[in-house]
Amino acid sequence: MRINHAAQICALSASDLEEFIADWLAQRCKDYYAHELWRGTGDMGRDATGYVTDRRMEGPWDNFQCKQLSSKLSELAAFVELGKIFKHSADGAFSLPRSYTYVAPFGVVRRVQHFVAHPEQFRQAFLDRWDNDIAERLVGNQIVKLTPGIEAMIQAFDFKNVDWLDAVRLVNDPACKPGLVAWFGADPGPGPRGVVPNEIQASESAYIGQLLNVYDEKKPGTCPDVAAALACPEFGPHLRLQRTRFFDSVAFDRFYRDSTPDEYLRNFKDEIYHGVVDVHAGTHAGRFTRLGQVMQQAAVLQPSGVLGKHAGPQVKQGTCHQFANEGLLPWDR
């Protein structure tokens, strides 16, 4: 049975929606220098902000206005919320945002949808309706007339960068996946298999160099380099298998780094490490034997959580090669 995550987002409280959006922005951090939540009264029309540079709000920034309502965002509310940005920008509180997004789980009324689709009509409507519809609703017990400063901000803002997100649009955004996993226990699904390049990559040179030393201990002089190891009837198939495991683990990491909260992958790797470290540290007949016993142990581990559910033996074994790369569990010690 498919879970309706959009309905779950609609059921969040107003404060939880802001937290959820913060988690969503955290996943989009590659688009931002940093992000921030503004809580309670005095937020000046900001709920969640994403900063493009280290100048933060004095440089380019994006605003996400979260409105957890029991119905669609109304036309008047849309004007008032964005109007707060123009008012406080004119007052010098912050620069105009680069973009403005209404986050309303139930969506927006048709008229708001129309204005977002017609940027210049939206701009003109602000100028035409400010004094009658917006002025008395921006600040408590105060009427904020359309001053030259506010008008300048309305004229300067790029209305093409106004958008809206409802719960369905949020759920369909790939950056929302970690939030769905963390908040609602969503299953991100199985990750892809790795692709093994023909040429040895810099990212695998450390553990492969260690494997050459392992092979040399077992049969000295047989594998002076990778080409010789791959051509060796005994060690060639073994080396190819280790590379498959390594790149399967790399693909696994990449997929779940983008689709689950950061701590999920950290916890998965921590469980793998503690599951094999004692075997690695034990007494063995030789390095090749140690390697084989660590691989056997890794294959049968059953890590907890959703990542453990989707990690096949080769992913767990390849993770051990990542530990070897990092010097945590070197194969040739």
| DSSP letter string, 113-166 | HHHHH-HHHHHHHHHHHIIIIIGGGSBTTB-----HHHHHHHHHS-GGGEEEE-
Main-chain phi, psi angles of 57, to 5 degrees: -80, -5
Question: Residue 176 domain-assigned?
Answer: yes
Question: Residue 190 domain-assigned?
Answer: no
Domain boundary among 157, 184, 211: 184
Which DSSP letter does residue 294 get? H
Residue 12, helix vs strand vs coil: coil
What value, to the nearest 5°, has the Cα angle with vertex 51 and ends 42 and 55?
95
Question: Residue 19 domain-assigned?
Answer: yes
pLDDT at 98: 95
Q: Is the dihedral of CA 21, 184, 260, 190 positive or negative?
A: negative
CB atoms within 10 A of CB 145: 10
Low pLDDT (below 50) residues in the chain = none
pTM, 2 dp: 0.73
Question: Residue 189 domain-assigned?
Answer: no
Question: Residue 191 domain-assigned?
Answer: no
pLDDT at 215: 97
- Same domain? For 10 and 118 the reply is yes
* Continuous segment of H or E residues that includes residue 27: helix 14-27
Q: Name the one residue in this structure whose structure tokens are 């609609």.
A: 10
Q: How far apart are CA 90 and CA 236, in angstroms?
A: 70
Q: Are 45 and 85 in contact (CB under 8 A)?
A: yes
Q: Are 122 and 164 in contact (CB under 8 A)?
A: no
Q: How far apart are CA 294 and CA 320, in angstroms?
A: 8
Q: How far apart are CA 182 and CA 203, in angstroms?
A: 30
- Same domain? For 115 and 49 the reply is yes
- Same domain? For 261 and 152 the reply is no
Q: Which residues contact 8 (CB under 8 A, 6 or more apart)?
A: 183, 184
Q: Which residues contact 128 (CB under 8 A, 6 or more apart)?
A: none
In 3D space, the residue among 83, 92, 5 whose CA is nearest the CA of residue 45 turns out to be 83
Question: Residue 85 domain-assigned?
Answer: yes
- Same domain? For 134 and 278 the reply is no
Q: Is the dihedral of CA 105, 111, 113, 118 positive or negative?
A: negative
With DSSP H G I counted as helix, E B as strand and the rest as coil, what are the percentages for the chain, rounded to 5? 60, 10, 30
Q: Is the dihedral of CA 81, 84, 89, 94 positive or negative?
A: negative
Cα 20 to chain centroid distance, Å, stands at 12
Cα 318 to chain centroid distance, Å, stands at 23
Q: Which residues pair with 34 in a beta bridge?
A: 51
> In terms of residue numbers, what domain contains 307?
202-325
- Same domain? For 164 and 213 the reply is no
- Same domain? For 115 and 262 the reply is no
- Same domain? For 12 and 147 the reply is yes
Summarised one tens digit per residue, pLDDT across range 66-80 is: 888 888 999 999 999
Domain boundary among 137, 156, 184: 184
pLDDT at 333: 86
Q: How many domains does the chain fold into?
A: 2
The two three-digit tokens of residue 267, written as one number:
């916890």
- Same domain? For 34 and 151 the reply is yes
